[in-house]
Structure 1
């Protein structure tokens, strides 16, 4: 199950009622913080993965369209994962496990801080959304030891489904 943790502003805009999420406080590959912001004078919805700080941006969502937001998020996530070379089997399994979506309230100031960093710019000149996502997810963030979110996400999803490490996104204690 994917848990979308909406900010108060987005809960109000989407007219959504949050459910109580009983997580243990640990960061999860299936938990995403979600907010609304203006980019190039258009409303965008930004999703930040709690574990990897991977960022997904979508636009074209109007107030109250929670179902459309969920569908577009899953579609954009699939497209982005494919563009980054994540295997079909891993993508299918992740999205199948995440086919059920729950809306909750935000609960991590660290993730909200990363979200603020990722949405610092209000205008850009990217020709397409995929280029924008690839650029954002190659920035470095302190909560993930100054690593790229896409590398951390790839490592985490591969470790979760295949049980093996693919690169040095999660260095061992001896490497630190």
Structure 2
């Protein structure tokens, strides 16, 4: 199960009633945090894994996309992991854990701070691509974000996620 801590801004967009995060009940769940951001007239989400800070950013989402957010996340993570060179078996195994998704209130301020840094990087990429969503290369931007060192970690998120996926 993927347990995703959602910020209040995103909760309103998704129109969800969020449960409180209960650490003891999570057991083997994959814990993530997700935030909503807006650049110009485009809405996007930034998602980060709590342990590795491996991230996914999707921009240009519309109302119908938010209604189907689970599928957007699964497809985006799978594409992102393929682009980062994860083995197919490791991706399939990891994605099976995420069959169900539970959305909760946020519970880790450190991960939220890292998400804000990721969003800052996205804004930088967006404005340097000419401010045009059609010229915006999200694969390149996700590639950069997953090779960005955060104070919370001792390594690159992509390498830590590969280790994490291969040991599970």
Do the structures match in fold with TM over 0.5? Answer: yes
* 1:2 and 1:98 in contact (8 A); partners too: yes
**Equivalent in the alignment of 2:112:** 112
SS of aligned partner of 1:46: strand
Q: How does 1:127-142 map to 2 (within 5 A)?
A: 127-142=136-151
- The list of structure 1 runs, each at least 4 consecutive aligned residues, that deviate by more than 6 angstroms after superposition, is none
**Equivalent in the alignment of 2:152:** 143
Q: What is the distance in 1 between the residues matched to 2:3 and 2:140? A: 26
Q: Superposition RMSD on alpha carbons, in Å?
A: 2.2
User: Would the alpha carbon gap of residues 65 and 85 (structure 1) be closer, same or farther in structure 2, given more than 3 Å must change?
Assistant: closer
**Equivalent in the alignment of 1:166:** none
**Equivalent in the alignment of 2:81:** 81
* 2:4 and 2:101 in contact (8 A); partners too: yes
TM superposition score normalised by structure 1: 0.81
Q: What is the distance in 2 between the residues matched to 1:120 and 1:143? A: 17
**How many residues are paired up?**
158
* 2:34 and 2:46 in contact (8 A); partners too: yes
CA positional deviation for 1:54: 1.0
Q: What is the distance in 1 between the residues matched to 2:98 and 2:109? A: 24
As a proportion of its length, which structure holds more helix? 2
* 1:29 and 1:52 in contact (8 A); partners too: no
* 1:42 and 1:59 in contact (8 A); partners too: yes
Unaligned runs of 5+ in 1: 161-176
* 2:54 and 2:157 in contact (8 A); partners too: yes
